[in-house]
Copies of this chain bind each other. A is one copy, B any other.
Amino acid sequence: MPDSVGELGEFGLIGAVTARLPQGPDVLLGPGDDSAVVAAPDGRVVVTTDLLVENRHFRRDWSDAVDIGHKAAAQNLSDIEAMGARPTSLVVGLGVPADLPVSWALGLASGLGDEAALVGASVVGGDVVRSPLVVVSVTALGSLDGGPAVTRSGARPGDVVAVCGRLGWAEAGYQVLSRGFRTPRAVVEAHRRPAVPYGAGVEAASLGATAMCDVSDGLLGDLGHVAVASGVVIDVSASAVTVAPQLKEVASALGADPLSWVLTGGDDNALVACFPAEVSLPERWTVIGVVSSGEPGVTVDGASYGSAGGHDHFAGS
């Protein structure tokens, strides 16, 4: 096989990529036609899309192709989870420089396919084009399987707020990599590949979650979207938020505040949801706050938090 995608050509690359992508039970017609056909058993389909641009959302010198594929899939699958849905499929648009190694493109495909397979979803189609820098667009589809869609707008005063999954880990990894380090490995790997709490979205919906979103921009920023959409105040209790010992160690070495990573760091793709107070939550959900009435917004221990805005993809890095 040629070394670069330019030598291999569009159709050659599509063929090589497609061969790495097993098709799951929801796929009625897989890659190779004008469109794919996917099951939508209850007559509804959940859909979300993200665009990742090299040097903005990932760096080829910080993450390998497999990790970037995992991360690109994970952040979209997480958006499906956040509706209380089960991911069924992905379609991927890939822009590649002509000199990109074929092995890189195949690694990306493997990462995308393997992450999707964690939830039984499949990469069912895509597009490959030439681009001066690597661009990856991922669209995920999901099924609610007869259940309710959990939006951001249903939180009610009296609800509790709970989180499932890691927070602050990807930010810690980003801070480490930004300073030129490659360790500690646990946080660097958390930056490279989020650990989405798959299945927790459907679980939350079945437990009666009133509102939910995934934490991609930062806990307080994303809770801010829920607060505004629901017209409520969300107060987070700092003492209830888990700051892992590993994060404390890294923060101490870097002279940083690990709580701020947990409260405002993005890209971990945890899920945060509101539940009626009487709901008994499984162990992987941690109650971190409460919902009350008032001017919509988010507070920490009853007060506004310094850098609570989350990151704006235009302004931040």
Contacts and interface: CB of A to CB of B under 8 A. Distances in A.
Interface string A94-110: 11001000000000000
A46 interface: yes
A37 B48 contact: no
A132 B130 contact: no
Given A95-B135, A313-B130, A124 B47 contact: yes
A37 B144 contact: yes
Given A5-B314, A314-B10, A135 B53 contact: yes
A10 B137 contact: no
Most buried by B among A41, A125, A127: A127
A210 interface: no
A314 to B, nearest CB: 5
A57 B128 CA distance: 12
Copies in the complex: 2
Contact of A40 (B43, B129, B135, B153): B43
A164 interface: no
Given A40-B40, A57-B129, A149-B29, A49 B82 contact: no
A33 B133 contact: no
Given A33-B152, A35-B79, A53 B130 contact: yes
Given A91-B49, A94-B51, A35 B129 contact: no
A314 B135 contact: no
A95 B37 contact: no
Most buried by B among A35, A89, A152: A35
A39 interface: yes
23 contacts: A10-B314, A32-B229, A33-B83, A33-B152, A33-B153, A34-B78, A34-B212, A34-B214, A35-B46, A35-B140, A37-B44, A38-B47, A41-B43, A47-B89, A47-B91, A47-B124, A47-B139, A56-B131, A93-B137, A98-B314, A129-B313, A130-B313, A139-B139
